[in-house]
Every structure is written in structure tokens, then in C-alpha cells.
């Protein structure tokens, strides 16, 4: 599609004012609760619909299907999706490459308008998207609202950042020359997104790539493909030309072939350490005809710790640990899976922790329980295996079992192990479920050493009233996102650029001022004057 045609497709919209985060919805208000229940009823009537692959704007169907289910009611089908195979990789890449030739020429203001149009459409249908998240991955209302709000934030923030990047200049003008600096797109890339934030992270990765002028083959998680299909519908309605984003729900074979395609310019991935490292390795191999070094943007998980110092506000610390450990059932790469507690307050902390965890309600997220199910039977079984390991590595303080449900949902009790050694498996390996290991420490320096003693480095928090100890942690707690006297989850776009160290990934800092640089290359132009 030619640029002049695009001008008539994408309604021009400029950012309104400085960026600010989308406000959270107060579901305690009767009108808000009523709106959410109505959205849940509306979406319930749409469950089970079949969705197509979308390649170059064309809808395709395959013989093999991916069936998305409600983890709270596994017999309930959320959506039926086509399963892209290796044979679809070339088709999708050629569509993305063809679209790139025109999309890269589109003025940045029009690409920005696409994101802003999409953000406004999502904002107008916020409760509907919240409901889809509740059904597809089991998020309660607040967790779903945060996911949708972050989606809007990414679109609004990256739109503004793209304009800022387009206005970049060289640090100086050399005498006798006109010096320019342009950030140009990389090309056609792959976005491989996760299931735990199937709207926000998927949309953020995709939007960052396309607003810079790249095109994308989007492979969402097979556990949450419906949210990606809904997002593509929004992009098309917002004016996106065919081929800019090509939606290919597919499994590991499709993903591997996509990563290895010689014309893939970049791979943006969020998921497990195992898969992330495999992608990094595959991308590093140069294929015949490949003219560039593929760029990988990887976010791969964490084993996050909250340090609880002896002089802290203990009630605030317990609240923060519980929220970080059991929000969305611990299925966040930022979740607190280790609480490192000073010996002087260890016993009282455990008592307060147990009291608070016992009050958590586990149940159907449609009814807005504190905790819902884990995402599927694979996750359910994996967490139960780690719970059995934990029973030999610590003292079971609470939980430790599956919870039977009349509809067969994948529910687990929030589980706490006390007296865990820093080197225990449940203190070192990412479980990705509602399991917390509590570790005793005899000094703040020891707490920091324990916190840093994993292969990850994503998030962490410290609860302390000591300025000296907070300053020590500021310099010595080796994580990409560090929080003081607050929980270690809930990074806000713009305020908390998100990404970690070590095996947590490439420290990509999503939602930060440098993120778009990962999808561009800098071109310096100098012209002699006179």
C-alpha cells in the first residue's frame, strides 16, 4: 500500500499532553463492578469462536488447531485457533518483507497515529478486554485491569517515544558541516510473546517494533492465543496496512523455523530461560544469504527476593510479600518467590505472614477471588512437583496441595515454606506458581548475599527504615528493577523501565526511554557546507 493511501487509512491523532499512566479501575465502586460483570456476560457468549491466521492481510485456516481453554473450567473453550506450521514461515516472512518496503517510508506521525488510535479503542472497551483475560488465563479483575491498563500505557508511551526519537540530533554540529542522526528501522522481525501478560507484553513488543517502521511476524503463546487475535483486530480497525503484523499462532516447530529464517532481522522474546537461551543460540548461527547479525531482545524470568530488615514496618512488609508472591498466583517473572528475613523478627514475620495468607480466597476469577487457577495442567503438575521438593527442603507453613473444584479448575493453595536454605532448589529454581520460600538471615549483608545468590537478576525489594542499608542495597542488590518499601511486582510504564540482569535476559527495559533503540539502527549523515 502506498504512503499516500495510508494517509487516508490512518486517522491522524497526535499525543495529548505528556504521558501519564492509565488509572486503575476501582472495582469496589458498584458501577465499576456492574460494568465488569456485564462484560463477563457479554464475552461468555462469544467463547468458542474460531480464529484465523492472518498473513499479509489474508485469513487462512489449517487442519491442525490450537484450542484455548479456561483454566478455571477446562471443559470451556475460549477460542479455536489455526496452528501455523513450518510451511507458513516463508509465507509470513515474505508478507512482512513486502510490507516493510512501504511501511518504512510511512511518516512517523502516521505510525504514531496507529498506536494512539489502537490505545483509544482499547480504552473504550477496557472491561471487555479484562473479561477476555479472565477467561483465557484466569486473571481476577484487578490483575486483568492492570494488564489492559499496561497495554494502553505501552501504546501511548511508545507513540511519544517514537516522536522523540525521530527528532534526535547529533550532540554537536561540526564546523562547516550539517550533521544529522537518523534512527531507521531494522526490517522484518519476530515477536514471540508470553501467556502470563498476553495482552500487555504481546502488544508492547509488537507496538515498539512497528512504530519504528519495522514489520512483524507475531507468534503468541499457544496458551493465550485469543488475546493476540483480539489485538490484531484492533490494529486493523485502527488503520494498520496488511502485512505490517502477521499473526501466526503456532508451536515450537514454527517458532524455531521463524527464528532461523535468514531474513529475520530481530527476535523479541518474553518467556522461560530455557527457550530464551535456545532462541539466542539459534539466532547466533549465520545462515546462507544472511547479511546481518540478528538482534535478540530477551526477557527470561527471575527468582526474585524481598529483604525484610529488622527495623522495617513489618505489617507493610508482610502485605508486600503476600501481594508479590501470590498476585496472579505467582505467575509473574517479577513475583517474590523468596522472602529473606532478619533473624530478630523472623518468628513474628512468619506468624503475620501465615495469618495473612490464610485469609486469601482461592476461587473462580470470574467471581473475583484473590487467587484463581494456574494456567493449565502442565503448570499445575510442575508446581505440585516443586511443592513435594519443598517438603523435603523446608518446613511447610501453609498450603502444599491442590484444591479440588467442581469444574476441574487448576487450583493450588498458596504455599509457604519456612526455614529454607539459600541453596535449596525451591530457593534457586523458578517455579512460576504460588510457592514462597522464607529464608532466615543474620545480618543485612548476609541478606544481600543471599538475594544475589541466584543465576537471575530481575526484580527485588527491601523493606527497611535504615537509610544506610537502603543505600547499600541501591548499589549492591544486583537486579534490573529494585524497589524500596514496596512490593517487587507492578512495574509501571515510564516510571519503572523493566528488564533484568544475568539469566533474566538482555535488560531490555520495556517501558523506558531506550527501548525503541532496540528496534532501530542509527545512521549518521554529514554534509559539507559551502
Residue 245: phi and psi, rounded to 5, are -125, 125
Q: Which residue has the cell 488447531?
A: 65
Closest CA relative to residue 464, chosen from 258, 316, 270: 316
Q: Please answer whether residues 420 and 426 qualify as being in contact, where contact means their C-beta atoms are separated by less than 8 angstroms.
A: yes
Q: How many CA atoms lie within 13 A of 136 on its CB side?
A: 34
3-class secondary structure per residue, 306-360: EEECCCCCHHHHHHHHHHHHHHHHHCCCCCEEEEEEEHHHHHHHHHHHHHHHHCC
Start-to-end C-alpha separation, the chain: 39
Residue 77: strand pairing partners: 69
Whether 236 sits among the annotated catalytic residues: the reply is no
Q: Which residue has the cell 479483575?
A: 141
Locate 273 and state its grid cell.
530461560
Residues 6+ apart with CB under 8 A from 378: none
Q: 3-class SS at 244?
A: coil
Residue 190: strand pairing partners: 217, 267
The sign one gets for the Cα dihedral 416, 73, 377, 133 is negative
Q: 3-class SS at 85?
A: coil
Q: Please answer whether residues 300 and 334 qualify as being in contact, where contact means their C-beta atoms are separated by less than 8 angstroms.
A: no
Closest CA relative to residue 138, chosen from 302, 269, 330, 270: 330
CB-based burial label for 133 (10 Å; 0-12, 13-18, 19+): buried
Whether 455 sits among the annotated catalytic residues: the reply is no
Q: 295: how many CB neighbours lie within 10 A of its CB?
A: 18
Closest CA relative to residue 105, chosen from 6, 225, 243, 28: 6
Catalytic residue among 136, 143, 161, 299: 299
For the chain, the maximum distance between any two Cα atoms, rounded to a whole number of angstroms, is 82
Catalytic residue among 333, 336, 430, 488: 333
Strands 459-463 and 304-308, how do they pair?
A: parallel
Residues 6+ apart with CB under 8 A from 349: 308, 314, 317, 318, 339, 341, 438
Locate 139 and state its grid cell.
486473571
**Distance (Å, whole) CA 442 – CA 376:** 39
Question: 444-479 burial, b if ≥16 CB within 10 A, otherwise e?
Answer: bebbbebbbebebbbbbbbbbeeeebbebbeeebbb
**Helix pair 225-238, 200-211: axis angle to 10 deg:** 40
Q: Which residues carry out catalysis?
A: 299, 333
Amino acid at each position: 500500500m502506498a504512503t499516500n493511501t495510508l494517509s487516508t487509512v490512518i486517522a491522524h491523532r497526535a499525543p495529548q499532553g505528556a504521558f501519564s499512566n492509565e488509572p486503575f479501575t476501582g472495582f469496589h465502586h458498584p458501577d465499576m463492578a456492574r460494568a465488569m460483570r456485564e462484560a463477563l456476560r457479554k464475552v461468555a457468549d462469544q467463547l468458542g469462536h474460531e480464529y484465523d491466521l492472518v498473513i499479509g492481510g489474508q485469513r487462512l485456516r489449517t487442519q491442525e488447531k490450537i484450542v484455548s481453554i479456561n483454566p478455571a473450567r477446562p471443559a470451556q473453550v475460549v477460542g479455536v485457533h489455526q496452528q501455523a506450521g513450518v510451511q507458513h514461515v516463508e509465507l509470513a516472512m515474505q508478507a512482512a518483507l513486502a510490507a516493510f518496503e512501504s511501511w518504512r517510508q510511512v511518516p512517523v506521525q502516521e505510525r504514531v497515529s496507529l498506536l494512539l488510535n489502537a490505545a483509544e479503542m482499547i480504552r473504550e472497551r477496557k472491561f471487555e478486554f479484562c473479561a477476555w483475560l479472565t477467561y483465557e488465563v484466569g486473571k481476577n479483575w484487578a490483575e486483568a485491569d492492570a494488564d489492559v491498563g499496561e497495554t494502553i500505557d505501552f501504546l501511548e508511551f511508545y507513540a511519544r517515544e517514537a516522536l522523540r526519537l525521530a527528532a534526535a540530533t547529533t550532540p554537536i554540529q561540526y564546523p562547516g558541516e550539517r550533521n544529522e542522526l537518523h534512527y531507521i528501522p531494522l526490517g522484518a522481525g519476530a515477536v514471540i510473546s508470553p501467556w502470563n501478560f498476553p495482552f500487555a507484553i504481546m502488544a508492547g513488543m509488537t507496538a515498539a517494533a512497528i512504530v519504528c517502521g519495522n514489520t512483524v511476524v507475531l507468534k503468541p503463546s499457544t496458551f493465550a492465543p485469543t488475546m493476540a487475535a483480539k489485538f490484531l483486530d484492533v490494529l486493523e480497525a485502527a488503520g494498520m496496512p496488511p502485512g505490517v503484523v502477521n499473526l501466526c499462532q503456532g508451536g515450537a516447530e514454527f517458532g524455531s523455523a521463524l527464528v532461523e529464517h535468514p531474513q529475520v532481522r530481530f527476535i523479541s522474546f518474553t518467556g522461560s530461560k530455557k527457550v530464551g537461551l535456545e532462541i539466542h543460540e539459534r539466532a547466533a548461527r549465520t545462515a546462507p544469504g544472511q547479511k546481518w547479525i540478528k538482534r535478540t531482545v530477551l526477557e527470561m524470568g527471575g527468582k526474585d527476593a524481598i529483604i525484610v530488615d529488622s527495623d522495617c514496618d513489618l505489617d507493610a512488609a508482610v502485605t508486600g510479600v503476600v501481594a508479590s508472591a501470590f498476585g496472579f498466583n505467582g505467575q509473574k517473572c517479577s513475583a517474590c518467590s523468596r522472602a529473606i528475613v532478619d533473624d530478630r523478627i523472623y518468628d513474628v514475620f512468619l506468624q503475620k505472614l501465615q495469618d495473612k495468607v490464610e485469609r486469601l480466597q482461592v476461587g473462580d476469577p470470574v467471581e473475583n477471588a484473590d487467587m484463581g487457577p494456574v494456567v493449565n495442567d502442565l503448570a499445575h503438575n510442575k508446581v505440585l512437583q516443586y511443592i513435594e521438593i519443598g517438603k523435603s527442603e523446608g518446613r511447610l507453613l501453609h498450603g502444599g496441595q491442590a484444591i479440588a473444584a467442581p469444574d476441574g479448575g487448576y487450583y493450588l493453595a498458596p504455599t509457604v515454606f519456612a526455614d529454607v536454605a539459600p541453596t535449596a532448589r525451591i530457593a534457586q529454581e523458578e517455579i512460576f506458581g504460588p510457592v514462597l520460600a522464607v529464608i532466615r538471615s543474620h545480618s543485612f549483608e548476609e541478606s544481600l548475599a543471599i538475594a544475589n545468590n541466584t543465576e537471575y537478576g530481575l526484580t527485588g525489594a527491601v523493606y527497611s527504615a535504615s537509610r544506610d542499608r537502603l543505600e547499600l542495597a541501591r548499589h549492591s542488590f544486583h537486579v534490573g528493577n529494585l524497589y524500596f518499601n514496596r512490593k517487587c511486582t507492578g512495574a509501571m510504564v515510564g516510571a519503572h523501565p523493566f528488564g533484568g540482569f544475568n539469566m533474566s535476559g538482555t535488560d531490555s527495559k520495556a517501558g523506558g526511554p531506550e527501548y525503541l533503540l532496540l528496534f532501530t539502527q542509527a545512521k549518521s549523515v554529514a554534509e559539507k557546507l559551502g
